[in-house]
Homo-oligomer: A and B are copies of this chain.
Amino acid sequence: QLLYARAKSVKRSSQPRAEAGEGVAAANGLPCRGKVLNLDNMNPNVRRVEYAVRGAIVQRALQIDKELKEGVKKPFTEVIKANIGDAHAMGQKPITFLRQVLALCAYPDLLDDNKFPDDSKQRARRILEACGGHSIGAYSSSQGIECIRQDVARYIEKRDDGISSDPDNIYLATGASDAIVTMLKLLVCGKGRDRTGVMISIPQYPLYSAALADLAAVQINYYLDEDKCWSLDIAELKRAVTAARQHCNPRVICIINPGNPTGQVQSRQCIEDVIRFAKEEHLFLMADEVYQDNVYAEGCKFHSFKRVLFEMGPEYSTTVEMASFHSTSKCYMGECGFRGGYMEVINMDPEVKAQLTKLVSVRLCPPVPGQALLDLVVNPPQPDEPSYDKFMKERTAVLAALAEKAGLTEQIFNTVPGITCNPVQGAMYTFPRITLPQKAIDKAKVPDMFYCMKLLEEEGICLVPGSGFGQREGTFHFRMTILPPTEKLKFVLQKISDFHIRFTQEFS
């Protein structure tokens, strides 16, 4: 008889629970040993991971979807998923040029078809020539196809008014998420008080907290100032890093600009201050800039961290280590399903870069269709090319509609007593503050989750509670995308407003 003393000695989680699988019949007469893999002996870091954007509320929304399809009667006929920045799912049409080139890359026989404009064919040919065997079905180099990395570098140079960018510093990735997690993974080391600490904004995009849990890194919260339009305050960064030095080794600061879920666009001055702070505190700077084209508010402008860094002179531009992230999932294209993205690393130790290249090679390469798409995004039709007019028209229409919806959202929410909403300066979300009646707060374990779940059940609108992003204690919020088509967005805003008033009355 075999004994499995070790497997049984695995520490129990603090909350007592029935042993998973303990009841399984032992048909072979061996002692009943339960599952090899159960909740108590799985990777504890994975257990700690949370990802609200696809959490309990979204699970319930999918269930309700099914119930509706099965004919269950509800006070609504569809679930509107305003929980995630998924533009196409909300009805935004793909940009014609992008999809033409992708179709040509997938099925090159179409290159003989005179339906396709010449510039789309020329782009497809160029991408195919850079692929092994001229097929997007071949693996690319692990860092990404070289000519695409060159195009990315040229795009960055143009964006940053000529500040040079080296294709060797560009790493293509499976969406920005992949690049962010990879970068964090490189940076995490140490044990106990020496464990790497990573500063993230609160509210944050929960990819960050999830990755930090997975890596068992220390999350250092710095709070954005809701009263000042979610702006970032250097004094708060100093407070956070100083406190954190007592129990970990702060090595990284993450910034999301334009902000997710908060929609603020950082001023040039603020970015300068952050860079100075990163240098003073000896921190690696991670700039999540996936919403760089999504700036709507008057007087706001996107400033890339890299550009500001270089404009601050060699004292900074030659020393501050940085990575900037971009994606094909947001901006005007919203091509989330292709999982395209890149990061640019700056001032990275060449030996670490070699390690990074080695690390990404284990996964072989990012999806090549996503790389091809990224190439088109960074190298769009030029004014003298046949696809230019249509491309610009489509692009402008998407961004103009988003700008209109950003304004509409702020305006309507701010008419509702108990909802306060900062301007949506950029990105794709609003993160309004909601005042909840004390009775509701007392009743619910997580009041904003309770609120959002009730909204989902009663109105079929799926939002994410603020607690999934982090918020100052005692305040409550939700995140909503501004992506539904204008008329539907108006409908959603009205429904939420009505619900809020009803909710407030019910629990007063």
Q: Given A35-B321, A194-B6 in contact, is the A367-B364 Cβ separation under 8 Å?
A: no
A120-145, CB under 8 A of B: which get 1 and which 0? 00000000000111011111111000
Main secondary structure of the interface of A (DSSP, over half): loop
Which residue of B20, B49, B187, B336 is within 8 Å of A42 (Cβ)?
B187
Contact present for A365 and B337 (CB under 8 Å): yes
The quantity of this chain's copies bound in the complex is 2
Contact present for B349 and A38 (CB under 8 Å): yes
Which residue of B28, B107, B136 is within 8 Å of A315 (Cβ)?
B28
Which residue of B24, B47, B131, B337 is within 8 Å of A318 (Cβ)?
B24
Contact present for A187 and B37 (CB under 8 Å): yes
Contact present for A362 and B210 (CB under 8 Å): yes
CB closest chain-B residue, reference A321 = B36
Contact present for B249 and A6 (CB under 8 Å): yes
CB closest chain-B residue, reference A319 = B24
- Complex alpha-carbon distance, A103 and B101, angstroms: 10
Contact present for B364 and A175 (CB under 8 Å): yes
Q: In the complex, what's the smallest C-beta–C-beta distance from A248 to chain B, in angstroms?
A: 9
Which residue of B175, B214, B282 is within 8 Å of A36 (Cβ)?
B282
Contact present for B359 and A46 (CB under 8 Å): yes
A412 within 8 A of B: no
Contact present for A37 and B207 (CB under 8 Å): no
Q: Given A110-B103, A186-B43, A352-B42 in contact, is the A36-B251 Cβ separation under 8 Å?
A: yes
Which residue of B62, B93, B133, B194 is within 8 Å of A141 (Cβ)?
B62
A460 within 8 A of B: no
Cβ–Cβ < 8 Å partners of A133 in chain B: 88-92
A235 within 8 A of B: no
A275-306, CB under 8 A of B: which get 1 and which 0? 00001111110000000000000000000000
Contact present for B211 and A349 (CB under 8 Å): no
CB closest chain-B residue, reference A245 = B6
Interface size on A, residues (CB 8 A): 118
Contact present for A10 and B49 (CB under 8 Å): no
- Complex alpha-carbon distance, A487 and B319, angstroms: 53
Contact present for B88 and A190 (CB under 8 Å): no
Q: Given A189-B43, A358-B51, A364-B336 in contact, is the A27-B314 Cβ separation under 8 Å?
A: yes
Cβ–Cβ < 8 Å partners of A190 in chain B: 10, 41
Contact present for A185 and B132 (CB under 8 Å): no
A334 within 8 A of B: yes
Q: Given A20-B349, A321-B35 in contact, is the A88-B177 Cβ separation under 8 Å?
A: no
Contact present for A175 and B363 (CB under 8 Å): yes
Contact present for A89 and B139 (CB under 8 Å): yes
Contact present for A44 and B91 (CB under 8 Å): no
A72 within 8 A of B: no
Contact present for A349 and B21 (CB under 8 Å): yes
Cβ–Cβ < 8 Å partners of A338 in chain B: 136-137, 367-369
Contact present for A337 and B99 (CB under 8 Å): no
Contact present for B185 and A351 (CB under 8 Å): no
Contact present for A321 and B174 (CB under 8 Å): no
- Complex alpha-carbon distance, A374 and B205, angstroms: 31
A60 within 8 A of B: no
A102 within 8 A of B: yes
- Complex alpha-carbon distance, A140 and B54, angstroms: 11
Q: Which of A369-418 contact B (CB under 8 A)?
A: 369-370
Cβ–Cβ < 8 Å partners of A368 in chain B: 337-339
Which residue of B39, B138, B362 is within 8 Å of A49 (Cβ)?
B362
Q: In the complex, what's the smallest C-beta–C-beta distance from A37 to chain B, in angstroms?
A: 5
Contact present for A51 and B367 (CB under 8 Å): no
A84 within 8 A of B: yes
Q: In the complex, what's the smallest C-beta–C-beta distance from A262 to chain B, in angstroms?
A: 20
- Complex alpha-carbon distance, A106 and B104, angstroms: 9
A489 within 8 A of B: no
Contact present for A363 and B194 (CB under 8 Å): no
Q: In the complex, what's the smallest C-beta–C-beta distance from A43 to chain B, in angstroms?
A: 5
- Complex alpha-carbon distance, A288 and B364, angstroms: 17
Q: In the complex, what's the smallest C-beta–C-beta distance from A50 to chain B, in angstroms?
A: 8
Contact present for A54 and B132 (CB under 8 Å): no
A437 within 8 A of B: no
13 new A-B contacts, CB < 8 A, other than A37-B348, A89-B133, A89-B139, are A9-B194, A20-B349, A27-B315, A38-B351, A41-B251, A42-B187, A53-B361, A55-B358, A103-B110, A131-B337, A174-B174, A178-B363, A339-B366
11 A-B pairs with CB atoms under 8 Å apart are A6-B245, A7-B251, A36-B282, A39-B351, A42-B186, A54-B142, A103-B103, A106-B106, A175-B364, A338-B367, A339-B365
Question: Lowest 7 CB-CB distances: which A-B pairs, in order?
Answer: A89-B132, A337-B368, A103-B107, A88-B135, A54-B361, A89-B138, A88-B138
